A and B are shown apart, each in its own frame.
Chain A
Amino acid sequence: MADILQCPNCKTENPIGSKVCKNCQTPLSPVNKITGGFIKPGQAPTRKHTADLEPVLPQWLRDARDAARGTEPQNSMEPPLPQAEKDQPAAPPSNDFLAGLQSSEPVSEDDDEYIPDWLANITGKSPTTPREATSEPNTSRRVEMGHTADFPIKEEPAEESETPSWLASLQSQEAEPEKDELTEWFRNASGADTPKHHEPTPKIEESAAAPQPDESPDWLRQMAMDAEKAEAPKPQEDSEFPADAPDWLRNLGSPIEVNPDSGLNPFSLTEQAPAESEASAPPIETPNWLSNETPKQDTTPKWLQDDRAASDSETPAWLANEAPIQLPPEPDSQPLSDDIFTELPGWLKAAAPESSIFSQAAKEPDVAPEPQQDSQDWLKDFQLAADQASEIKPESEATLENAPAFSTDFHSDENVNSLFTEMPDWLSNAVDSSSISPSTSPVDGALAPSELPSWVQAMRPADTSRVEKAQPAPTPNRDLPLESRGALAGLHGVLPAMPGFTPTSKPKAYSIKLNASKEQMAHAEILEQVLAAETSPDPIESLSAYRASRTLRWFIAFMVLVAVAAPVFLRTQFFSTPVGVPNETRDAISVTQAIPEGSALLVAFDYEPSRAGEIEAAAAPVFDQLLLLKHPRLTFISTNETGPILAERFISGPLAGHNYQSGATYLNLGYLSGGQSGIRAFALDPASVAPVDINSQPAWTSTPLQGVTALNQFAAMILLTDNADSARAWVEQTEITRKDTPILIISSAQSTPMIQPYYAAGQVDGIVSGLYGGAIFEQYNAGRPGTARLYWDAYSVGMFLAVVLTLFGGLWNLALGLRDRKPAGKGMK
């Protein structure tokens, strides 16, 4: 049997050394002994010589292969292709898809080869210790499934460079303990509780010598069954199944619905049938690796067929021809980009590294990259790895060990439909696992989602740079969050697809506090409180309050207008003029009485037109008395732009009776700009500052200013102002130059309180304050009528009205305010 290579596709027996099947041209490769374990995604491939892995081939595979070749029961693991049926020779069809997986080198009889427990359970042989794998000829390739660690990492000298890099990586995996990867894979695959695919075929049971119920993967059993059916009349259980569907496909268990949109897992065997049924079952969701089978309708798995055809190529044909099947990506796996994997089953491809596994070095440090060999060398590596396998995988892999990779029982008693609708256990285990955890041991023998079969891993080139989870390669994204779900599962540093992305780091908070000391802040706080109390306006509480205030305002306006207009209209003189004379007014009277007759008086008109009525009412009796008694020469000047014309109004209005003429008895020097500077300038040298009057006539040579050249040469200075600042400016700036010249201020009532200190300090000789002062002065004017008397009744009524309204209204509002504050105080408590 060792001299024969059985084609995994059509079961044709081929002599040893054949690279391709003479019947279906499927590449023939030696079977690598599976040492157990699975190839986990991200795991560095173990570089193997495939040709050396024949010893690794488990016994059950060998038996299956043998059985398929001849006397032994048919193995239905391989999908029976219609074309394959035609092309099949008369020789009993062998469903041993691994039939061609024989080492190129003559392998000793299998009696001494390593038989894992799981295989022993199937074949009934006693398990043996693994023996050192011998190199295999490069004439064929073997495909094994198992963990990377199953394959011993040998340090073989670099041989030919024909070995693809992915093979080299497989060979470099020396650190991994040798395990029966295929057995482990099968164990995991058969461990899944998939009722649809889980019916062990009688063929498997027969050939596997009563295998344990969950030890062999269902799909393997089904394939074995199908292989049987491929030779026997194939029961068309499902009339819906295409006529040219392969037998193994038809015999895959219970009827299944051919529904391409069923959304089944890529692992589901409901994907398109192998190559032979590729053209006939388009609507079926078949694994890509199945759908991409060659159209020769050979029952040999395509990966085996391709092995023959691509023996000279770097990429195993069965790998190159397989369509990609999506696997749940492992966390550390890199996206597939290798063209070599385009025809791989998707689930294999997903487990494969991102970049070309055939071009990147293995990540395992212990792996020594081996030179690329012939395509069959990788099988040798498998063989060697199998020989060097130390221990058998744990019990979870026993089922896989016992189950053939492709069993002829697979096709038997299995509804073909179940192939497409029901997921094999090993596939369901791989899909159901939400977290990609290569360390997760396969449950019930099913293949973990993120775990690659070891035989797949073994095929990876040694120089692949896949990021493996077992030995994660340092990548820039390692530290970034791992995406655990979705299409990008297993990748690092991807943007989350879910809305509500939260930043990984809290944004840095910057202080907006001003850099000020405590003392500065305290000062600012106090100043703030003071200013706020004075300037903060009260907000409008409500429209009703606004209406109430407007009503109150109208009421006050009505009262004031009536109270004021009535006495004026009636020209009453009911109220008495003030009797008491304030001190400042008394002194003012004294000053005016002390002015020499015919002397020059300087009169400053520094008030606004708005207060002209009050000022004129206060100043009229003063000037009337002066002009009447003293006949002074008046000189008008003003620091206000409207002052000159107000002076003209004053002299031609209340004092019209005195018939003062401009240029003769009075002179209007006009406007003096500059404020305090102008006053100071005028005080220093009035002739140069105001050389002409308002008529542009020379002033200081005129009669009114005759003999006057300086400020102190005036007999007195009379200031008419409504502004305390103006009074202060005149007082301050003329303090020195005025010397003994008295100054009399006739001011409005609003500025008197602020001018009072100057009078108290002796800087001002007298003050006549508003209408009150004018009324008093009129009493000392020999009874001459004056404006103050006319206004006095209205003035008194207005004052009394103010007292009444302020007193009663204020008390009322005080009560309201206290009432409003009480609830606020209770609330605060």
Chain B
Amino acid sequence: MTLSPDLISGALSFLFTILILSYVIGDNPLFRVAIYVFVGVASGYVASVVIWQVLVPRLITPLVPTAMSNSPMQWVMIAVPLLGSILVFAKISQRLSGLARFSMAYLVGVGAAVTVAGAMIGTLLPQVQSTIEFFDPQIAAARSITTAEVVGNGAIILLGVVTSLIYFHFGAHQKTDGTMRRLLPIEILAWIGRIFIGITLGAVFAGVYATALTALIERLSSLINFFGLFS
């Protein structure tokens, strides 16, 4: 039998699958070895990917053409990210780690703007609009949704949205007996929101179990297939 890449990867897959499966019994050195090796390999692979697919094509490769060109704009286009990347690596030195703040500030500023715009344009407005449009008869008709479904399901969805948001409101007032409680209408609505959130999380929980079950099935299947290679 020749050592094909599939055989090698299969053998490794079998070995590490068994090592991880040993955790069912309890934490043991074999499991720890598998975990630490996995972290090391994954980290090394990620580093190689970043180097080859980000830094080399964006910083190193354009250096020669940029140096040879006379365009200041090209110089700026390569100099700024080059400087930013170098400042990030300044974190290695404790004395120069303060310089990395510039790069971090740049990334934070860009990320904040992207987050703000994306949240507003991509989630907030469309979701609110969708909640409202659910009651639109024309849209419902285009989706072949009956009026009863519109009213009934729309009301449930609207109630779910509102009460879920109210559930996360923690403003309270002190009562005469000294206890801190929210207003009664808010308490009632929050209780309803708790139901909707419980349902949502229950659905997520079932989805996680389905995903995990599928992964387990895939691993057991690969183990069985590996044995099948030798049969």
Q: Which chain A residues have a beta carbon within 8 Å of chain B's beta carbons?
A: 518-519, 521-523, 525-527, 530, 554, 557, 560-561, 564-565, 568-569, 610-614, 617, 641-642, 644-645, 670-671, 673, 675-677, 680, 691-692, 694, 696, 722, 728-729, 731-733, 735-736, 748-754, 757-758, 760-763, 769-772, 790-791, 794-795, 798-799, 802
Contact = CB atoms under 8 A, between A and B. Distances in A.
Given A732-B119, A750-B208, A754-B204, A613 B218 contact: yes
A676 B49 contact: no
Given A733-B122, A736-B121, A770 B210 contact: yes
B211 A525 contact: no
Given A560-B216, A617-B214, 6 more contacts: A519-B173, A526-B182, A611-B214, A676-B118, A750-B208, A762-B130
Nearest to B157: A760
A677 B215 CA distance: 31
A569 B173 CA distance: 62
B221 interface: yes
Interface in B196-231: 200, 203-204, 206-211, 213-221, 224
Nearest to B123: A732
Contact of A675 (B111, B180, B217): B111
Contacts of A754: 204
Nearest to A641: B46
Nearest to B208: A750
6 contacts: A523-B171, A611-B211, A673-B54, A753-B203, A770-B207, A799-B213
A557 B180 CA distance: 45
A564 B126 CA distance: 42
B118 A729 contact: yes
Given A518-B174, A732-B118, A763-B126, A614 B211 contact: yes
A522 B210 contact: no
Contacts, number: 167
B170 A642 contact: no
* 7 interchain residue pairs of minimum CB distance: A732-B122, A613-B218, A732-B118, A761-B130, A749-B210, A749-B207, A522-B180
B66 to A, nearest CB: 14
Contacts of B204: 750, 753-754
B122 A771 contact: no
Given A641-B45, A641-B46, A753-B203, A568 B118 contact: no
Contacts of A617: 214, 218
Given A641-B49, A770-B207, A728 B130 contact: no
Contacts of B208: 749-750
A641 B24 contact: no
Contacts of A611: 211, 214-215
A613 B219 CA distance: 8
A568 B213 CA distance: 12
B57 interface: yes
A527 B126 CA distance: 30
A391 B202 CA distance: 108
A554 B214 contact: no
Given A641-B45, A771-B210, A794-B217, A694 B53 contact: yes
A798 B114 contact: no
A564 B170 contact: no
A539 to B, nearest CB: 20
A689 to B, nearest CB: 9
B160 to A, nearest CB: 10
A747 to B, nearest CB: 9
Contacts of B50: 641, 671, 673
A640 to B, nearest CB: 10
Contacts of A641: 45-46, 49-50
Dominant secondary structure at the B interface? helix
Contacts of B53: 644, 670-671, 694
A515 B155 CA distance: 45
B37 to A, nearest CB: 15
Contact of A644 (B49, B211, B214): B49
Interface in B28-45: 42, 45
B176 to A, nearest CB: 13
A58 to B, nearest CB: 83
Contacts of B119: 732
Interface string B154-180: 000000000000000011111000001
B49 to A, nearest CB: 5
A750 B207 contact: yes
A519 B174 CA distance: 8
B129 interface: yes
B97 interface: no
A550 to B, nearest CB: 8
Contacts of B46: 641-642
Contacts of B138: none
Nearest to B212: A750
Contacts of B215: 610-611, 613-614
B214 A613 contact: yes
Q: Which of A526, A749, A770, A802 has the most CB of B within 10 A?
A: A749
Nearest to B218: A613
B127 interface: yes
Contacts of B221: 568, 790-791
B123 A798 contact: no
B114 A696 contact: no
A666 to B, nearest CB: 17
Contacts of B54: 671, 673
B122 A525 contact: no
Contacts of B64: none
B110 interface: yes
A557 B220 CA distance: 13
Interface string B1-31: 0000000000000000000000010000000
Nearest to A671: B53
Contacts of B174: 518-519, 522
Instruction: Tell me which of B126, B127, B182 has the highest count of chain A C-beta atoms within 10 A of its own C-beta.
Output: B126
Interface in B110-167: 110-111, 114-115, 118-119, 121-123, 126-127, 129-130
A791 B172 contact: no
A770 B214 contact: yes
Contacts of A771: 210, 214
B121 A526 contact: no
Contacts of A772: 210
Contacts of A799: 210, 213
B223 to A, nearest CB: 9
Nearest to B57: A692
Nearest to A673: B54
A525 B180 contact: yes
A733 B207 contact: no
A769 B206 CA distance: 12
**A522, A561, A564, A644 interface centre (most CB from chain B within 10 Å):** A522
B217 A526 contact: no
Contacts of B126: 735, 758, 761-763
A620 to B, nearest CB: 12
A130 to B, nearest CB: 81
Contacts of B56: 696
B207 A564 contact: no
A525 B180 CA distance: 8
A51 B133 CA distance: 126
A144 B7 CA distance: 125
A356 B110 CA distance: 88
A761 B133 CA distance: 9
A118 B165 CA distance: 106
Given A530-B170, A610-B215, A676-B114, A731 B209 contact: no
Given A568-B221, A798-B213, A748 B207 contact: yes
Interface string B80-92: 0000000000000
Contacts of A794: 213, 217, 220
B218 A749 contact: no
Nearest to B128: A761
Chain A CB within 10 A, most for which of B111, B114, B213: B213
A691 B57 contact: yes
B114 A677 contact: yes
